[in-house]
Chains A and B, each alone.
Chain A
Amino acid sequence: MPGSPFTSLRRRLALVGGRPASLAAEAAQGRRDQAGYRPSRLLEGTLAHHPLGEVVPWTEPVAFLDGTQHVELLGYVGTLPLVAAVVRAAVRQREARRMTLAVQSVRRVVIAHEAALAVFGAALDGHDVLVLDGDDAPHPIRDVERAHALVDRTRGALELAVAREYRLRHPDAWLLVDGTLTASPDWSRDPHMLGVVKSHAVLPFEGEALEQYLTLPYAHRTSLFQPGSRDVAPVYAWGLRLHPFAGQDLFHGLVRIEAAATEATVANVDRLSCHLLAERAPRSADPRADRLLYGIHDVERFLRAQGG
C-alpha cells in the first residue's frame, strides 16, 4: 500500500506468519454519526431567526482544536484481523492573525484479539496495543468495526488530553473545538470553549421547527436551545448560517454552535455569533469549506501534514 505508515508493520506480520492485507479500513476517514432526531428544549421562547449585527473578529488570542485518525487493516493472523491506527490531536493558537502550534499529541495503536497480538510479540515495539475482548466469538468484520470504535474513543481521549494541557497554559483563552462539547463535562462546563458542529445527522427539531431551523438565513442565528439527552454534559446550542444557502443544499453554511449551559452564554450569544461569523473567512481549501472554520481546517491540515 503506497505511502502507508504501516509498511514496516506489515513486513513484520509477514515474518511472524501472518497474512498482510492492503485495504484501507472504511473508518479511515473519521467518525460518523447515525442519522436521527434528538428533540431539544428551546431557551428563548419559540424558534426564531435572529439577525446578527456587524461582524466582529476576536481580537484576543483564539485557539482551535481538532483531531485526526488514520486506520488501516494490517492483515490477519489466521482469521483474526489486526487493525493499526495513527491518532493525532492538536491545539493551534491564533495570535496577531498567525497560527502557531500550542499543543499536540500522537498515538500509534494496533488493535486485535489477544491471540493475534501474541503472535506479533516484540515486533510491535513503538505501538500501543489495544485488545479486543469480550465474550463474542471472533468475527473478521465485526472485529474491524469494533476496532474502529476503539480508534474513535482513542481520538476522543487524545483530544481531551490536548485540551486539558492547553487549558493549563491558557486558562482564559477562547478554544474552538471541531465537533460537540458534550464529549466531556470539562468541555461543556468551560466558559471559554465553543463546539462547532458541522454534522447534522442528529437534528434538534422535527416538523415545522425543523423547517424553521434549516431555512435560517445567512448571517442569522436561531434561538438558543438545549439539546436533549445530554445529562452528563449539558450544553446550550444554536444554529448559525455562515454562508448563503440559496441555490445550494439546506445545510450549506449551517453549523450548530455549542457552549456552556450558563447565563453568560445566553447573554453573549449574539456577540459570540458575530465573532464566529467573522471566522468564515478566509475560506478553507476543503470541500466542507461552507461549514469548516479556517482555524479548524488549519489544525486538521497541520495534523495530516505530520504523516503517519
Chain B
Amino acid sequence: MTILGRVVATELRPSTPHQFHFWTAAGAVLGIGAIVRVEGEGRVVFGVVTEGFAYADLPRPLDAVIGADGDPVQAGMEPTLRAEIRLWSAAVLRQLPEEPMQPVPFGAVTAASDADVLVALRMDAYVRPEGSTGIPVGVYTGGGLSAPVFLDADFLLGPEAAHLNITGVSGLATKTSAVSFLLTSLFETFPASKGSVAAICFNVKGPDLCFLDQAAPLGEADLALYRRLGVHATPFADVTVFAPYKADGVNLNTLRSNPAITDRVEPLVWGLREVLDYAEVLLNRDDVDAKAGAFIDFLAERVVGKRFEAGELRDEPFAVMTFADLDDFFRAIFDFLEVKSRGSEVWRTHHAATIRKVRNRLGNIATRSKGLVTDDGPANDLPWGAFRDRSVTVVDVAGVDPLAQDLVFARVISKLREHLERRDLGVDHVVVFVDELNKYAPLDGPETYVKKMLLDLSERGRYLGLVLFSAQQFRSQVLRRVTGNAGTTVYGRMDSDELALPGYATFSPAVKAKLAALPKGEVLVRHPHFTQPVFVRFPRPASLSGREGIERFPPAADLPFADAVVQRLKALDAGIAGDAVRAAIDGRPEHEVRRALGATTQRRPEDVLAFFRSCLRRSVVAEPVAPPRGVAPLARDDGDPFSPY
C-alpha cells in the first residue's frame, strides 16, 4: 500500500471526528472526490477529499516580483523551486471502530482499495455474497482505482427509503443516460426475493426515451465498465411505447414512427369514462365552481357508463359511453328546457347555465386533447393488471398539448396507485420516471393536480412500491418536499449560478467547481448509506439515445388517412393486404373508420381484417330505383308544372 500523504493538524486546521487535513507530494495521484484511508492509533478512518490547497513559502506576492526583478520569465528560471505544499481537506466517511468517535489520528494516508471503498461507503452492510441488495450505480475512479459503487435496493425502491432525484444541465444527456443505465442495472440485479419490478417512463421532450429497446454501439471503455459492474450491456428487452394519436386519429403522435420499429408502439386513447374522473386536472378553479363540480359528480356517478333513465328527456334510457353520447345527452336536456318545459332554467336542480358551462368545458377537452381523447371510439389504455416483470412502458407525451400531458400524468399515476394498493398491477414495484420537474412540480406557481400527484407519490409512494425517479435542471426551483423525499440524489454537470444558491452550501468550493465541469458519464451520488456524496462514473446506456435513434430510424412522414389505417392494422397483423383494407374503408366516413380501428386495436382479434370489417357499419349499396309500377295516370298534362309525370 503506497503512502500518499500524512495527516496534519494545526490549531487553525485541527482534525475533528468528521474532517481532517493531509499533505501529499506535489505529484500524488489524487483529486477532489478521491477516497482515502488513514491508519493510526489503532483505528482506520476513511475519508473523501473535498478540497485541495497548494501554496508556497512566499510570504507576499510582492516577494515573488522582487525575487524575479519584476520579470515573470525570470521567475520561471529560479535555480531552486520554492517549497510548496499540496494540502487536502477530507470529510470522514467512516471510522473503524465506530465508537468512541474521535478526531482523526495523525496517521499515514493511502489511497483506498476496492475493499476499502466497500467499507468506507458502508456498502458492506448490503453487498454480500449471500443475499445482496446492491444495485450497481457506477464505478468510483479516484486514485487510479475502478471500484464498483452500489445503491441499496431497500433504500432505492423502498421500503426503507425510496425515490431518486437527478439534477443536471440540459443538453448533455446525463440525466436520461443515468436513469437509463440505472434501470438496466436495477432490472438485472434487483433481487428476485424482493419481487417484480417494472418501469413507466414519461417521455416529455423529443425522442429521448423512444428507443430504449434498440442497441447502442458501445466502445471498449464502456463495455469494460459494464463488466466491472457485473451488468450486461444489452438494451431493454420488453419495451412498449404508448403514444396518443395526432389530430387525424390514425397517425401516432410520436417520433418513433419509422415503420421498422412501430411494432412496439401502441396508441394511447382514452374515452369519456377515463377522462371524467380527472376532470379536476383539466378544468381550473374558475371553471369548476361548486355548482359545476356537483353537476360533474352527478354525471360521473349517475350517467356516464350507466343506464340512465330520464323520462322527461326521452322515452328510452340513455347509455352515455362516449363524448358523442354525452353531447346527445346535453342536447336532450337543452331541448327539454327550451321546448318541453317552456323556457325553464332548471333541470333536476341544475341550472341551465351550469349545464352549459360543463358542456363547454368537457367538450373543450376532446378538442384540446384530440388524439388522446376520442369522441366516440373505444379507449386503448396501459395494461393495467398485466404489467410484466422487468418491462418498460414509455408514455410518449412529448408532442401533445400541456393540458393533455397533465391528464396523462395524473391518470397514469392515480391508476398505478389504485392497482398497487389492490396488489393487482401485475408487478410489486413500479419505477416512474418523470423528467422536467421544473415544469411539473415547480417551487412556485399554482397548485396543480400534477404537482399534488407527484407530491403524494414522493411522500407515500414507497409504502406501495411506487417509486419516483425524477429529473430536473434546477433542483432549487423544484418543490422541496418532492426532492427532499428522494432517498438517493444524483448530481450531473451543474450550472454555476445554481450551485451558488444556499441549497448547495454543504458542497465545498472544489466539489462545486468539479460539478460545474463534470464530464459526461460522471455524477455525484448521495445515498442514505453514504456519509458523504461520492463521484462515480457510469457507462453509456446500452440503448440508443433519442438523437441516435432519430438518426438511425428517421421518423416517417404522416401518412394519408388510408395508408395510416393500413399501417396500424399491419402492426397487428403483418400479413394484411393493404388493398383489402383500402377497399374496406373506401368511401366511409373517417370517424367510422377510426372507431373500427380503435376497436380492432383494443380487441387484437385473431383475424384482424375480418374483425375490422365487422366493426364498420354495414354499407348499403345504392341501387337505381325504377319508377313505381302501378296504375297509369288517367291523363298526362304536359302543361301542368306540378305534374309528377
In the complex, which residues of chain A have a beta carbon less than 8 angstroms from the beta carbon of B68? 281
Give the Cβ gap from B484 to chain A, nearest Cβ, in Å: 48
Give the Cβ gap from B87 to chain A, nearest Cβ, in Å: 15
Is residue B383 within 8 Å, beta carbon to beta carbon, of the partner chain?
Answer: no
Across the interface, do A281 and B83 meet the contact criterion of CB distance under 8 Å? no
Q: Residues of A within 8 Å of B, CB-based: how many? A: 20
Across the interface, do A301 and B57 meet the contact criterion of CB distance under 8 Å? yes
In the complex, which residues of chain A have a beta carbon less than 8 angstroms from the beta carbon of B59? 285
Across the interface, do B63 and A294 meet the contact criterion of CB distance under 8 Å? no
Give the Cβ gap from A288 to chain B, nearest Cβ, in Å: 13
Give the Cβ gap from A256 to chain B, nearest Cβ, in Å: 21
In the complex, which residues of chain A have a beta carbon less than 8 angstroms from the beta carbon of B63? 282-283, 285, 289
Q: Which of A4-12, A17-25, A92-100, A192-200 contacts B (4 or more CB under 8 A)?
A: A92-100
B74's partner among A58, A98, A279, A281 (CB-CB below 8 A) is: A281
Instruction: Render A53-66 as a binary contact track against B, CB cut-off 8 A, 1 for contact.
Output: 00001100010000
B77's partner among A57, A285, A301 (CB-CB below 8 A) is: A57
Across the interface, do A97 and B67 meet the contact criterion of CB distance under 8 Å? no
Across the interface, do A57 and B79 meet the contact criterion of CB distance under 8 Å? yes
Is residue A278 within 8 Å, beta carbon to beta carbon, of the partner chain?
Answer: yes
Alpha-carbon distance between A283 and B70 when the two chains are bound, in angstroms: 13
**Which chain A residue shows the least CB distance to B77?**
A57
Alpha-carbon distance between A131 and B57 when the two chains are bound, in angstroms: 40
Is residue A280 within 8 Å, beta carbon to beta carbon, of the partner chain?
Answer: yes
In the complex, which residues of chain B have a beta carbon less than 8 angstroms from the beta carbon of A295? 80
Give the Cβ gap from A182 to chain B, nearest Cβ, in Å: 26
**Which chain B residue shows the least CB distance to A305?**
B83
Instruction: Render B53-73 as a binary contact track against A, CB cut-off 8 A, 1 for contact.
Output: 000011100011011110000
In the complex, which residues of chain B have a beta carbon less than 8 angstroms from the beta carbon of A279? 79-80
Is residue A298 within 8 Å, beta carbon to beta carbon, of the partner chain?
Answer: yes
Alpha-carbon distance between A89 and B611 when the two chains are bound, in angstroms: 102
Instruction: Render B101-135 as a binary contact track against A, CB cut-off 8 A, 1 for contact.
Output: 00000000000000000000000000000000000
Centre residue among B57, B63, B77 by max chain A CB count within 10 A: B57
Is residue B505 within 8 Å, beta carbon to beta carbon, of the partner chain?
Answer: no
Across the interface, do A282 and B64 meet the contact criterion of CB distance under 8 Å? yes
Is residue B78 within 8 Å, beta carbon to beta carbon, of the partner chain?
Answer: yes
Across the interface, do A298 and B83 meet the contact criterion of CB distance under 8 Å? yes
Across the interface, do B81 and A98 meet the contact criterion of CB distance under 8 Å? yes
Give the Cβ gap from A279 to chain B, nearest Cβ, in Å: 6
CB-CB contacts below 8 Å: A249-301 with B: 278-283, 285, 289, 294-295, 298, 301
Alpha-carbon distance between A51 and B79 when the two chains are bound, in angstroms: 21
Give the Cβ gap from B80 to chain A, nearest Cβ, in Å: 5
B80's partner among A99, A243, A301 (CB-CB below 8 A) is: A99
In the complex, which residues of chain B have a beta carbon less than 8 angstroms from the beta carbon of A298? 80, 83
In the complex, which residues of chain B have a beta carbon less than 8 angstroms from the beta carbon of A243? 66
In the complex, which residues of chain A have a beta carbon less than 8 angstroms from the beta carbon of B617? none
Alpha-carbon distance between A143 and B153 when the two chains are bound, in angstroms: 77
Is residue B285 within 8 Å, beta carbon to beta carbon, of the partner chain?
Answer: no
Alpha-carbon distance between A278 and B79 when the two chains are bound, in angstroms: 7
In the complex, which residues of chain A have a beta carbon less than 8 angstroms from the beta carbon of B81? 97-99
Alpha-carbon distance between A295 and B64 when the two chains are bound, in angstroms: 16
A94's partner among B66, B74, B80 (CB-CB below 8 A) is: B80
Alpha-carbon distance between A282 and B77 when the two chains are bound, in angstroms: 9
**Which chain B residue shows the least CB distance to A283?**
B67
Give the Cβ gap from A217 to chain B, nearest Cβ, in Å: 15
Across the interface, do B80 and A280 meet the contact criterion of CB distance under 8 Å? no
Is residue B618 within 8 Å, beta carbon to beta carbon, of the partner chain?
Answer: no
In the complex, which residues of chain B have a beta carbon less than 8 angstroms from the beta carbon of A285? 57-59, 63
A58's partner among B57, B77, B79, B82 (CB-CB below 8 A) is: B79
In the complex, which residues of chain A have a beta carbon less than 8 angstroms from the beta carbon of B77? 57
In the complex, which residues of chain A have a beta carbon less than 8 angstroms from the beta carbon of B57? 285, 301
Give the Cβ gap from B533 to chain A, nearest Cβ, in Å: 36
Alpha-carbon distance between A5 and B81 when the two chains are bound, in angstroms: 31
B67's partner among A62, A282, A301 (CB-CB below 8 A) is: A282
Instruction: Render B78-106 as a binary contact track against A, CB cut-off 8 A, 1 for contact.
Output: 11111100000000000000000000000
Give the Cβ gap from A298 to chain B, nearest Cβ, in Å: 6
Give the Cβ gap from A272 to chain B, nearest Cβ, in Å: 14
**Which chain B residue shows the least CB distance to A279?**
B79
Across the interface, do B67 and A281 meet the contact criterion of CB distance under 8 Å? yes
In the complex, which residues of chain A have a beta carbon less than 8 angstroms from the beta carbon of B66? 243, 283
**Which chain B residue shows the least CB distance to A297?**
B57
In the complex, which residues of chain A have a beta carbon less than 8 angstroms from the beta carbon of B79? 57-58, 62, 94, 97, 278-279, 281
CB-CB contacts below 8 Å: A92-141 with B: 94, 97-99
Give the Cβ gap from A76 to chain B, nearest Cβ, in Å: 33
Centre residue among B59, B63, B82 by max chain A CB count within 10 A: B82
**Which chain A residue shows the least CB distance to B58?**
A285
Give the Cβ gap from B32 to chain A, nearest Cβ, in Å: 26
In the complex, which residues of chain A have a beta carbon less than 8 angstroms from the beta carbon of B69? 281
Centre residue among A278, A281, A285, A295 by max chain B CB count within 10 A: A281
In the complex, which residues of chain B have a beta carbon less than 8 angstroms from the beta carbon of A283? 58, 63-64, 66-67
Alpha-carbon distance between A148 and B406 when the two chains are bound, in angstroms: 89
Alpha-carbon distance between A212 and B616 when the two chains are bound, in angstroms: 121
Alpha-carbon distance between A283 and B80 when the two chains are bound, in angstroms: 10
Instruction: Render B366-383 as a binary contact track against A, CB cut-off 8 A, 1 for contact.
Output: 000000000000000000
**Which chain A residue shows the least CB distance to B68?**
A281
Give the Cβ gap from A271 to chain B, nearest Cβ, in Å: 15
Alpha-carbon distance between A294 and B84 when the two chains are bound, in angstroms: 13
Across the interface, do B80 and A97 meet the contact criterion of CB distance under 8 Å? yes
Alpha-carbon distance between A278 and B69 when the two chains are bound, in angstroms: 11
In the complex, which residues of chain B have a beta carbon less than 8 angstroms from the beta carbon of A282? 58, 63-64, 67, 75, 78, 80, 82
**Which chain A residue shows the least CB distance to B82?**
A282
Across the interface, do A99 and B74 meet the contact criterion of CB distance under 8 Å? no
In the complex, which residues of chain B have a beta carbon less than 8 angstroms from the beta carbon of A281? 67-69, 74-75, 78-79
Alpha-carbon distance between A99 and B79 when the two chains are bound, in angstroms: 10
Alpha-carbon distance between A283 and B78 when the two chains are bound, in angstroms: 10
Give the Cβ gap from B54 to chain A, nearest Cβ, in Å: 16
Alpha-carbon distance between A295 and B83 when the two chains are bound, in angstroms: 10
Alpha-carbon distance between A243 and B67 when the two chains are bound, in angstroms: 9
In the complex, which residues of chain B have a beta carbon less than 8 angstroms from the beta carbon of A97? 78-81
Give the Cβ gap from A173 to chain B, nearest Cβ, in Å: 14
Instruction: Render A80-97 as a binary contact track against B, CB cut-off 8 A, 1 for contact.
Output: 000000000000001001
Alpha-carbon distance between A282 and B74 when the two chains are bound, in angstroms: 10
**Which chain B residue shows the least CB distance to A99?**
B80
Alpha-carbon distance between A99 and B82 when the two chains are bound, in angstroms: 9
Alpha-carbon distance between A278 and B74 when the two chains are bound, in angstroms: 10
Alpha-carbon distance between A213 and B79 when the two chains are bound, in angstroms: 28
**Which chain A residue shows the least CB distance to B69?**
A281
What is B's interface to A at a CB cutoff of 8 Å? Answer: 57-59, 63-64, 66-69, 74-75, 77-83
Q: A57-B77, A283-B64, A294-B78 are in contact. List 7 more A-B contacts (CB 8 A).
A: A97-B79, A97-B80, A97-B81, A278-B79, A279-B79, A280-B67, A282-B75
Show 8 A/B contacts (Cβ-Cβ < 8 Å), sorted by A.
A94-B80, A97-B80, A98-B81, A99-B81, A280-B67, A281-B78, A282-B64, A289-B63
Closest 6 CB pairs of A and B: A283-B67, A57-B79, A281-B67, A285-B57, A97-B81, A281-B78
